[in-house]
Homo-oligomer: A and B are copies of this chain.
Amino acid sequence: MSRAARLTTTSYAILSLLAVQPWSSYELTQQMDRSLGRIWPRAASKLYEEPKKLVDHGLARGRTESVGARERTVYSISAKGRRALSGWLTEPGEGPVLSFEQLLQVGFAEHGTRADALATLAATRAWAQERNAGNLAAALAYQSGEGPFQQRAAQNVLTGRFLTDYYRMVAEWADWATAVVQQWPDDPRQAAPDQDDVDETVRRASW
């Protein structure tokens, strides 16, 4: 009886998926690619490891199936797991945590060239556009009532709107920043801010 390690947000994220339906670990990795990864990204190997922890805690059951000479495990939530999930939802969760390397690079652009900064901003813009494309496809599916898990539509609309606004904000920022950096002199160390941009920032932060 190994003492099961304590539950993390990742545990509850996976438990939440199991509350929708049973999944194998590989199927969980697909959900990670499609949806969960946008707000709680984790490596595939976590999705093989974490469900075992849920089983140790009695929050899920693992059912072994055969695929040829090979086995696979399909996990499903238990009654105790559903209670644990409800409990988690009453707890104060963490606010958004952002890790944004490209913004770091732009924020210290004075140690590189203007071209470096513009390339980084172009990558940010492309990132937002690509993410938005996938998100739009999902939104369109829901719009025509064809999205998966229709019984979860009300919740998906909330997260979908967040991601929509988020990607849009990133793209608009990248466009604006690109225009600003294009006005910089060749040497970014000589760049000075436009007072209008500062004023506009203050205005946008005043609410």
A residues near B, CB below 8 A?
Answer: 9, 12-13, 16, 19, 38-41, 82, 85-86, 88-90, 92-113, 116-117, 119-120, 123-124, 127-128, 132, 135-136, 139-140, 142-143, 151-162, 164-173, 176-177, 180-181, 184, 188-189, 191-194, 197-202, 204-207
Contacts and interface: CB of A to CB of B under 8 A. Distances in A.
Contact of A139 (B111, B160, B205): B205
Contacts of A142: 193, 198
B177 A139 contact: no
Contacts of A154: 110, 184, 188, 191-193
Given A161-B201, A202-B139, A205-B132, A88 B105 contact: yes
Identical copies in the complex = 2
A142 B156 CA distance: 40
Nearest to A168: B204
Nearest to A84: B111
A191 B152 CA distance: 9
Contact of A109 (B39, B100, B111, B155): B155
